[in-house]
Amino acid sequence: MYTIVTGACGFIGANLVKGLNGRGVTNILAVDNLSRADKFVNLTDCEIGDYLDKQEFLDVVDAGQLDGAVEAVLHQGACSDTMETDGRYMMANNYRYSATLLDFCLDQEIPLLYASSASVYGGGGVFREMREFEAPLNVYGYSKFLFDQVVRRRLPDAASQLVGFRYFNVYGPREQHKGRMASVAFHFFNQFQAEGRVKLFEGCDGYADGEQRRDFVSIEDVVKVNMFFLERPQLSGIFNLGTGRAQSFNDVAVAVVNACRSAKGGAALSLAELKAQGMIEYVAFPQALVGKYQSYTEADLSQLRAAGYRDEFATVEQGVAGYVGRRLAAKGK
């Protein structure tokens, strides 16, 4: 029996494959689009049973070749570029593809755990899994929102597990291929290594310079939550997956710079000290993001906690320090 991971060469997908391996699961059918071949490196330390291109996978599903052969599907494959303007591509890749997998899983009565997104909430200030708080600002968010609505309609009659995770700002290993869509921790680290300074946006939406706040969640915590639900097939629903704690971009920058300094024996410095020494500076807020930017996110974890998940989530200071340490160690090899 296969465990299927779509988007398996991507950031979250590859980490889920590694997490499954850690639980002794290796008969994994990895599904992805390797037209950008550099993503393959994310799976070089993982064990899988087989690989299929994402379109070939749908053809195999449609032909019934996987009927009775699948234990669970972890669907992470999607276009995650929030600046993508080709709505037809976004809806085909994120919405229609997901709907096909949903039909397959419900027909086969197998668990489907899939990636939704905190982008469904848009610019509102309440991040609770309820329709009245959902108003996406871009077509990416809309594609995730629309599929969530399908799931809500199908949940009451589903005979198998159906779980959507609204990921907040995830950071961690295996995101190097994501380009501008990689986490701010990733970009801040690269900036500091190259220039000895980190650049943040100036203030917007009433926030001071660098004080826009997001719910930054480590990939390790994301994997733990996915595994928690996979091991409890009686649990279904749509759940926020963040820390429940909003922290500023300044917090991330300070954590990155101090982790880099610590690796060289330097003392930790405050935000004010880092600004005074030119290690943190601010750039104009991009016009292209005006009206399309979430200046504040913070996951309401009430439903996740009600489902029984009790583990604490890493803070930016804890999670980013560990991430930077691993990246520095990798550079030293």
Residues with catalytic roles: 140, 178
Residue 197 φ/ψ, nearest 5 degrees? -155, 165
Whole-angstrom Cα distance, residue 205 to residue 214?
Answer: 14
Residue 6 φ/ψ, nearest 5 degrees? -90, 155
What's the chain's length in residues?
333
Q: Do the beta carbons of residue 14 and residue 174 sit within 8 Å?
A: yes
Whole-angstrom Cα distance, residue 142 to residue 134?
Answer: 10
Which residues are 2's β-sheet partners? 70
**In 235-252, which positions are buried (b, 16+ CB within 10 angstroms) versus exposed (e)?**
bbbbbbbbbbbbbbbbbb
Structure-token match 């649990």, residue found:
235
